[in-house]
Amino acid sequence: MRPVHFLPVHVERLGLFQGVPRAAIEPVLREGEILDLEDGELVLSPGDWNEAVHLVLSGEVRVKLGRGVGELPIVAGECFGEMSAIDGGETAAVVFAKGSDCRVLRIPRATFWGGLMTLPGVARNVLTTLVRRLRNANEMLLRDQQQRLAYERLQQEMQAAAEIQASMIPERGKLFAALPELDCAGAMIPAVEVAGDFFDACVIWDDLLFFAVGDVSGKGVSAALFMAKTVPLLRMEAARLQSVPRLLTAVNDALCENNPGCMFVTLACGILDLATGELAYGNAGHVPPVLMPGDGAPAFLEVAPDTVLGVIPGREYSQRTTRLAPGDALLFYSDGVTEAFDARNGAYGSRRLLDILRATGQAQAVDIVDAVHRDVAAFAAGARQSDDIALLAVRYLGRPPH
């Protein structure tokens, strides 16, 4: 602070003094002190005992009314601190300099009321300034409140969308407990509230199990909506056609229609004959599933190089076949597993996936899913999940003898 030796040449043009002669203003203002403030320097803080009115001579200060609320600018010619100076109470807001060219005149409370407010026109200008500031503050508070309400509403809608999406796929955990030929479990772990990755499994005929893991391009709401279109199509065509190549062709053609955003789905799927262990499987641009033989080491299944679904209509798809022996298991997964990243941007990778599956041995399907999920989380070590994750483990147990 320093005494007032000079005032701005056009101090009478400041909003507070419009219409008031300079000769009447200057003697009163010389009783104040000038503050030359650095950018960000605090002038008042909540709880401060304020005994002065502050007049901004040049530059700008900002008033922050509370956490989560915007900043109210106070520019040259306007004052602040008058409310606490009126009642002699504590300051309720944070006031700080904005920019490097900020100069404030600190006027003692007694001088403000006994000197300035008695000058013709000053009281009117103070009232005009206060009304304008209150209106601006009310508008800002209303806008912030509306934004908070909109955010809360969005969060509620996203939660509802997540619940709806979860209802479209099987629940996490053990599936088909009534089928003695099968040990099956799955999980979907979204990177955000809703996901584009999915798993599905359903009995399409007495002895036929259809299952799939898919990954929609992108993440979030758009991917979730495309996923909501894909899952019912897969179930419908699997039940209708009971053929991996034909159902992939049909679903691809359906997804190509009305797809202006050119979204697509990678998919690994299979149809397992529960009576014989015969497995027909297909792959549309997806990561290869893993076969875990009951008496051998895990290995990736050979897949056909077919294209993703939803891009090129009229494509024909192929299948591969194998026979599962009782005790053999499969893991279908999305690339959110192998492309999970740690804090150093290292990828989880295929080798680590095979290592954890080898360690699970003859574990139940639900334990396989949980083991992979835990290992991915341990690898990431707190790094933000970058992609959705879907997992489906299927162990063929064989049909019990009659």
- What is the Cα–Cα distance from 323 to 375, expressed in whole angstroms? 29
> Could you tell me if residue 390 is inside a domain?
yes
User: pLDDT value at position 304?
Assistant: 87
Residues 178, 284, single domain; the answer is: yes
Residues 279, 352, single domain; the answer is: yes
Q: With beta carbons less than 8 A apart as the criterion, state whether 397 and 182 touch.
A: yes
Residues 109, 19, single domain; the answer is: yes
> Could you tell me if residue 160 is inside a domain?
no
Residues 380, 236, single domain; the answer is: yes
- Give me the CATH number covering residue 206: 3.60.40.10
Cα-flanking dihedrals φ and ψ of residue 96, to 5°? -145, 155
**Beta bridge mates, 331:** 290, 393
Token pair in block for residue 140:
């800002």
Which amino acid is located at 153 in the chain?
R
Q: Residue 112: name the closest of 5, 12, 28, 19 by CA.
A: 28
Residues 46, 192, single domain; the answer is: no
User: pLDDT value at position 159?
Assistant: 62
Residues 174, 127, single domain; the answer is: no
Residues 204, 272, single domain; the answer is: yes
> Could you tell me if residue 224 is inside a domain?
yes
Element (DSSP H or E) covering residue 379: helix 365-380
User: pLDDT value at position 74?
Assistant: 84
Residues 130, 233, single domain; the answer is: no
User: pLDDT value at position 193?
Assistant: 59
- What is the Cα–Cα distance from 196 to 32, expressed in whole angstroms? 65
Examine the fold and report which residue of 127, 143, 159 is the final residue of a domain before the chain moves on.
Answer: 143
- Give me the CATH number covering residue 7: 2.60.120.10
Examine the fold and report which residue of 128, 143, 158 is the final residue of a domain before the chain moves on.
Answer: 143
> Could you tell me if residue 155 is inside a domain?
no
Token pair in block for residue 251:
């679903």
Q: With beta carbons less than 8 A apart as the criterion, state whether 186 and 393 touch.
A: yes
User: pLDDT value at position 219?
Assistant: 72
User: pLDDT value at position 106?
Assistant: 87
> Could you tell me if residue 162 is inside a domain?
no
Examine the fold and report which residue of 143, 158, 179 is the final residue of a domain before the chain moves on.
Answer: 143
Per-residue pLDDT of the chain (402 residues; tens, 9 = 90+): 555 555 654 666 666 777 777 777 778 777 888 888 989 899 888 878 888 888 888 889 998 866 656 678 888 877 787 766 666 667 777 889 988 889 888 888 888 777 777 777 777 676 666 666 666 666 766 666 666 666 666 566 556 555 655 666 677 778 998 999 999 999 988 876 566 788 999 999 889 999 999 999 877 777 778 888 898 899 999 999 999 999 999 999 999 998 888 889 999 999 999 999 999 999 999 999 999 998 889 999 999 889 999 999 999 999 999 999 999 999 999 999 999 998 888 899 999 999 999 999 889 999 999 999 999 999 988 777 778 899 999 999 998 776
> Could you tell me if residue 301 is inside a domain?
yes
Q: Residue 249: name the closest of 319, 316, 320, 318 by CA.
A: 316
- What is the Cα–Cα distance from 350 to 214, expressed in whole angstroms? 18
Residues 204, 135, single domain; the answer is: no
Q: With beta carbons less than 8 A apart as the criterion, state whether 348 and 379 touch.
A: yes
pTM, full prediction: 0.62
- What lies within 8 Å, CB to CB, of 128 at 6+ separation is 15
Residues 128, 199, single domain; the answer is: no
Question: 197 to each of 207, 270, 289, 369, how far by Cα in Å?
Answer: 27, 17, 15, 15
User: pLDDT value at position 295?
Assistant: 86
173: exposed, middle or buried (C-beta count within 10 Å: 0-12, 13-18, 19+)? middle
Token pair in block for residue 93:
């807001």
Question: 244 to each of 15, 23, 313, 332, how far by Cα in Å?
Answer: 78, 94, 17, 15
> Could you tell me if residue 64 is inside a domain?
yes
Scanning 242-293, the segments in alpha helix (DSSP H) are 244-256
**Domain of residue 79, residue span:** 2-143
> Could you tell me if residue 299 is inside a domain?
yes
User: pLDDT value at position 158?
Assistant: 56
User: pLDDT value at position 130?
Assistant: 63
Residues 181, 98, single domain; the answer is: no
Q: Residue 309: name the closest of 353, 278, 265, 339 by CA.
A: 265
Residues 201, 326, single domain; the answer is: yes
User: pLDDT value at position 213?
Assistant: 96
Token pair in block for residue 5:
């030796």
Neighbours of 151 (CB within 10 A): 10
